[in-house]
Amino acid sequence: MSTLTDFEGKTPTWCPGCGNFSILRAFKQAMVDLGLAPHEITVVSGIGQSGKFPHYTRCNAFNGLHGRTLPVATGVKLVNHTMPVIAEAGDGDCYGEGGNHLLHAIRRNIDVSLFVHNNQIYGLTKGQASPTSLAGMKTKLTPHGVIAEPLNPLLLAIALDCSFVARGYAGDLEHLVGLMKAALRHKGFALIDILQPCVTFNLVNTYGWFKERVYHLEPDYDPEDRAEAFKRAIEFGDRIPLGIIYRNHRLPMEERIPLLAKEPLVRQAFARGIIARTILNEFY
Amino acid sequence: MASRQPIDIVIALDQASIANNQADLSESGIIVYDSKILKQAFTGPEFLDVPFVELATKDGGSKVMANTVATGAVLGMLGMDPSPFEDVLKELFLKKGQAIVEQNISAARRGSDFARQHCERCAFSAAPPGRPLMLINGNRAIGVGAVMSGCRFYTAYPMTPSTGILTYLAGKSDDYGIVVEQAEDEIAAINMALGASFAGVRSMTGTAGGGFALMVEGLSLAAVTETPIVIALGQRPAPATGLPTRTEQGDLLFALHAAHGEFPRLIFAPGSPEQALYLTNKAFDLSEKYQIPAIILTDQYLADSQWTYEGLDLSRLICEDHRLRGERPASLSDDYKRYALTDTGISPFAVPGDIRQVVIADSHEHDEEGHITEDPELRRRMVDKRLFRKLRSLRSEMAPPTFYGHPDARTLFISWGSTYGVVREVIGNLQEQGAAMLHFTEIYPLPGTDTFDYVTLLTKAERTVCVEQNATSQFARLLKAEIGFSCSATVNKFDGRPFLVEELLEALHVYLD
Ligand SMILES: Cc1ncc(C[n+]2csc(CCOP(=O)(O)OP(=O)(O)O)c2C)c(N)n1
Ligand SMILES: [Mg+2]
């Protein structure tokens, strides 16, 4: 059995009050609740305040490039599919720089849990607009307000028939722990867009702003109803739903590769001698 | 070993095939055509009019079998046994049913018979068949090399001329236990391959210059995270899309300098499919041993050229696992450090999940465990570990160039990579006149001189001529930068076509006394 202290890492350099603290706390709690030990999981992250995540806990980790969490996570999962793989990304990281990878990770339905620290701003680089910044938001680079409409990640994911789509909120820790556990238990690609107040650079979407808007999906809400899921995903204004918005039962990528049916690639022996006997035959 | 200028047989299915090739026809060369298809009859001893369509459709066959007739005609002209071709037809058309197979076989026979009867100047005849030889191209040799080196993960975005590696390996995935994934772009490909490598298997990607440009940030990531990766970079003429299906050696300095930051890398440039096999193996071995990226630099010419061999000796391939996996990690101390500072610069490389400690890879400058650091002293020591310590022993791993030709040559021709065959053939013709060649396949870091002092040889030669399939003599520049040696002349070709024996002979002849 693991405990919270097993997941203790370096001291975070995030600003006091940052939403990332509760995401980190929720993550550790979820791992402990699932009975996972640090060496049994891999966290892949990119670059951003969110990208520092794995250094502030303890687990196998690949802290790679800005925007490239999902390809790395896909590679890890295909090689060792019994190992839980979690991608921690920023909104700029995953919806901007690496947007293409999101589309294709969803299409593949690789069994990776993607937790997006969505603070609707570029935190690390000190406050530029992100793909989820609300139109009109003023930043140093957009003195007249952001012109482009914000990306709606949930709507996009449901449109691509993503097999698990949820929204969490850093201000609701217990609920977030539940979502993370559900995402890890889910077989297939799981996206949790986590609303994460940035107390320094996003003075629009504050704890107060969210408090007035967020609500939990009703107990009888059916996440397998795709049409209803679209309706809820569109809601991002006066009311913002939290919970598992959409889910389906598509087979994950690893289960569709015959080679991986028996055991993870990393544990399969390489039949060098046998292959050597026949590999050149076709060239004669 | 190389392409020649004169053409012996042209099968002309359109007018352009005649216009483009007639001038290069050898003295006894022949153009086979169908005057009905071309709507024109040609006179002259070099023309052989074979009614492709008429012979194809004779017993209910279709017009599309004109190709089969034409191939049969060539076999007839050469007096060759038709049965191997008939076997190919059987295999090819099996799915389409027995009737189609039969029709094709009789179409081939009619073509063959017709040519035998009507060809007046068919002076050539095929050599009597001996033992069957292997036929393999550069891409497939790289594929075989990867499989035999224990590559378990290949991912790429299709791009000529490297797509052949992806295709070959995709076809072998189930048989040889390799996960092959078509990535959404080259950035994804290299990052996915790095994820796979981190997770514990040998992995590889392949592309051409344009795709490699997209991979460049990932190359730097491989370097700082010390994650082994093999990249096949098939060159084709650029900038940008250039001549997508032609050949060039224009990306050597790009491969050498690509990516931000300072780190060691390996570059191999095979000169034949055989060398491609062994160098792919070496790339995998050294990349994993030193935990650095290795690039196999080919080009369209090598990728697609078919070479024949009696056989290839697979027992020469090395396959040593440089990772800590399975039982071995038991020996690890409690505080496993992915980037432990060592004398060799090489840190113990554990497979995540195989040990009770955690394995951390980081793209930032990091401490020994893999955590972000800003410490100046640690930074200095990490650069020393990654770069200088590894480079120290890397050079001695590289094999010296191949020498061939006159032992006391006054003129030394220098070549690298895919021009091996053509340069060697030309030097074979010129060695009596005091020519020799020095061919490099292990390009970076340049090999040491302990086993063969090629640097002294270069300095002593009266003339040194660097022969390259590019406009700016990139290998000559590399020699200058690395060993301070300047070649006295260069021969360059950059029209996208490989050197032909005759033209290279003429170009090199100029430099002999
Ligand atoms: C290729 C590349 N481009 C730009 C950057 C600079 N950069 C680092 S993080 C970042 C954006 C951070 O925003 P986000 O992903 O939302 O993460 P946050 O800091 O908000 O958690 C940028 C632009 C980089 N590191 N790499
Ligand atoms: Mg952000």
Q: Which of A52, A62, A78 faces B179 most closely, judged by CB atoms?
A: A78
Task: Tell me the residue range of the domain where A213 lies.
Answer: 4-256
State the helix-helix crossing angle for A173-185 and A20-33, rounded to 10 degrees: 50
What is the DSSP-derived secondary structure letter of residue B303?
Answer: H
Distance from CA of A280 to the nearest CA of B (A): 8
Q: Taking CB atoms and an 8 Å cutoff, what residues of chain A touch B147? A: 275, 279
| Parallel, antiparallel or unpaired: strands A42-45 and A60-63 | parallel
Determine the pLDDT at residue B327: 66
Instruction: Compare CB distances from B195 to A74, A265, A276 and report the shortest one's residue.
Output: A74
Question: Ligand 1 — pocket residues by CB below 6 A?
Answer: A 47-50, 66, 90-93, 117, 119, 121-125, 130
Contact B360 A275 (CB under 8 A): no
Query: Can you tell me which residue has the tokens 């050197």?
Result: B499
Cα–Cα distances in Å, from B293 out to A217, B115, B258, B263? 49, 55, 12, 9
Residue whose Cα lies nearest atom 22 of ligand 1: it is A125
- Pairs of CB atoms within 8 A across A/B: 179
**Residue B423 vs residues B263, B302, B408, B497: alpha-carbon distances, Å:** 33, 14, 18, 15
Options 3.40.50.300, 1.10.3720.10, 3.20.20.80, 3.40.50.970; CATH for B136-315 is 3.40.50.970
Q: Do residues A221 and A243 touch, judged by C-beta distance below 8 A? A: yes
| pLDDT score at B331 | 63
> pTM of whole model > 0.90?
yes
CATH of B7-118, one of 3.90.800.10, 3.40.50.2300, 3.40.920.10, 3.40.50.2000: 3.40.920.10
Ligand 2 is an ion; residues with CB less than 5 A from it: A 90-91, 119, 123
Distance A275 CA to ligand 1 centre (A): 45
Residue located nearest, by CA, to atom 1 of ligand 1: A66
Show pLDDT as tens, one digit a residue, over chain B (513 residues): 688 999 999 999 999 999 999 999 999 899 999 999 999 999 999 999 999 999 999 878 899 999 999 999 999 999 888 899 999 999 999 999 999 999 999 999 999 999 999 988 886 777 888 888 999 999 999 999 999 999 999 999 999 999 999 999 999 999 999 999 999 999 999 999 999 999 999 999 999 999 999 999 999 999 999 999 999 999 999 999 999 999 999 999 999 999 999 999 999 999 999 999 999 999 999 999 999 999 999 999 999 999 999 999 999 999 999 999 976 666 666 789 999 999 999 999 999 999 999 999 999 999 999 999 999 999 999 999 999 999 999 999 999 999 999 999 999 999 999 999 999 999 999 999 999 999 999 999 999 999 999 999 999 999 999 999 999 999 999 999 999 999 999 999 999 999 999 999 999 999 997
A70: Cβ contacts below 8 Å, ≥ 6 apart: A87, A89, A94, A98, A101, A102, A104, A105, A112, A114, B188
| Residue from B87, B201, B356 whose CB has the most chain A CBs within 10 Å, to mutate | B201
Q: Do B360 and A79 touch (CB under 8 A)?
A: no
Q: What was the pLDDT predicted at B330? A: 62
Cα–Cα distance for residue pair B192/B53, rounded to 1 Å = 51
Any idea which ligand is nearest the CA of A118?
A: 2
CA of B265 to the centre of ligand 1 (A): 27
Q: For chain A, what is the domain count?
A: 1
Interface test with A, best of B173, B334, B358 (most A CBs within 10 A): B358
Q: What is the pLDDT of residue B443?
A: 98
Nearest C-alpha to atom 9 of ligand 1 is from which residue? A48
Distance (Å, whole) CA B241 – CA B245: 10
Largest CA distance in chain B: 86
Residue of A124, A139, A193 to mutate, ligand 1, most atoms within 8 A of C-beta: A124
Q: Is the dihedral of CA A31, A34, A37, A41 positive or negative?
A: negative
- Comparing B136-315 with B402-509, is the CATH topology the same? yes
The complex scores an ipTM of 0.98
The CATH number that applies at residue A178 is: 3.40.50.970
**Burial tier of B283 (Cβ tally within 10 Å: 0-12, 13-18, 19+):** buried
Give the nearest chain B residue to A267 (CA atoms).
Answer: B326
Mutation target to probe the A interface, by most A beta carbons within 10 A, among B184, B307, B316, B332 is B184
> Sign of dihedral through CA atoms B170, B284, A69, A41?
positive
Contact assessment for residue B282 and residue B268, using Cβ atoms and an 8 Å cutoff: yes
CA distance to A13, A15, A112, B100, per residue, from A200 (Å): 13, 8, 31, 74
Largest CA distance in chain A: 74
Assess if residue A261 is contained within a domain. Answer: no
- Burial class of B329 by CB neighbour count within 10 A (0 to 12, 13 to 18, 19+): middle
Q: Which residues of chain A have pLDDT under 70?
A: none
Please choose from A88, A101, A122 the residue to mutate so as to test ligand 1's pocket, defined by most ligand atoms within 8 A of CB.
Answer: A122
CATH architecture of B402-509: 3-Layer(aba) Sandwich (3.40)
| Distance (Å) from the alpha carbon of B363 to chain A's nearest alpha carbon | 5
Instruction: Round to whole Å and give the CA distance between B81 and B83.
Output: 6
Report the b/e string of A83-99 with b at 16+ CB within 10 A.
bbbbbbbbbbbbbbbbe
Nearest to B191 among A47, A71, A80 (CB): A71
Sequence spans of domains, chain B: 7-118, 136-315, 328-396, 402-509
SS (H, E, C) B252-275: HHHHHHCCCCCCCCEEECCCCHHH
